[in-house]
């Protein structure tokens, strides 16, 4: 209950200027996030080959930290917030999972919480498959953390940025920007822009 109270207070403070249907999701977002954290901490325990499977309250905080990257311009209705929530729990928890069985289990866990906590289906909320659910804030001059739905547009943006870098660098990079690489870069950008953000590339 104390965890609920802490994160509900944080949620209500940050989202106080958002539409009423967004603010009304405070208990649902907090409750579903805590359930996801509790389940993954209970079910996916560290092993010799998965020694990094250690989940704690910092991970719980990171979900809410990621959600506070949005603004009233990008979250205008409850569906937008639920989609953002799904993305943040994937980034914080699922990106650390190293085999397909664990990833599938976690996806089912999130889908279950979408139904239980928000009465929503994955496809209706996100409009895409799990691996294509990506957010970023680098597509516009005014940084806005939004769902990236047009990957061709994202590819063009990254290609331009790579060309700009190579034009001034003494060590140009010959990178092939295939879809998986682009999605991975988007995830890395999200992490390193957060306070004390760090990422292990394997």
What digits encode the pLDDT tens for the residues 69-80?
Answer: 999 999 999 999
The domains located in the chain, with CATH, are: 2-192 (1.20.920.30)
What digits encode the pLDDT tens for the residues 100-147?
Answer: 999 999 999 999 999 999 999 999 999 988 888 999 999 988 889 999
Residue 16: is its pLDDT beyond 70? yes
**Six token digits for residue 90:** 């994937």
Share of the chain above pLDDT 90, in %: 81
Residue 1: is its pLDDT beyond 70? no
**Six token digits for residue 179:** 């879809």
pLDDT band at 25 (very low <50, low <70, confident <90, very high): very high
Containing 196, the helix (H) or strand (E) segment is none
Residue 202: is its pLDDT beyond 70? no
Give the DSSP letter string of 93-141: TGGG--SHHHHHHHHHHHHHHHHHHH---HHHHHSS-GGG--EES-SSS
What is the predicted pLDDT for the residue at 169? 92
Q: Which residues contact 122 (CB under 8 A, 6 or more apart)?
A: 86, 110, 111, 114, 130
| Contact call for residues 4 and 31 (beta carbons, < 8 A) | yes
pLDDT band at 175 (very low <50, low <70, confident <90, very high): confident
| Contact call for residues 187 and 165 (beta carbons, < 8 A) | no
SS3 201: coil
């Amino acid at each position: 209950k104390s965890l609920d109270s802490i994160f509900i207070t944080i949620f209500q403070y940050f989202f106080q200027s958002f539409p009423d249907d967004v603010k009304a999701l405070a208990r649902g977002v907090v409750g579903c996030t805590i359930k996801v954290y509790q389940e993954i901490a209970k079910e996916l325990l560290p092993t010799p080959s998965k020694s990094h499977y250690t989940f704690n309250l910092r991970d719980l905080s990171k979900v809410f930290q990621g959600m506070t990257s949005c603004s009233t311009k990008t979250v205008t209705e409850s569906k937008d917030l639920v989609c953002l929530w799904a993305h943040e729990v994937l980034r914080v928890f699922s990106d650390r999972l190293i085999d397909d069985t664990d990833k599938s289990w976690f996806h089912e866990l999130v889908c279950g919480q979408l139904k239980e906590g928000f009465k929503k289906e994955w496809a209706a909320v996100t409009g895409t498959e799990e691996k294509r659910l990506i957010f970023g804030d680098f597509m516009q001059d005014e940084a806005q953390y939004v769902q990236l739905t047009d990957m061709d547009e994202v590819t063009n943006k990254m290609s331009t940025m790579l060309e700009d870098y190579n034009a001034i660098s003494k060590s140009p990079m010959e990178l092939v920007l295939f879809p998986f690489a682009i999605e991975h870069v988007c995830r890395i950008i999200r992490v390193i822009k957060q306070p004390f953000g760090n990422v292990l590339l394997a």
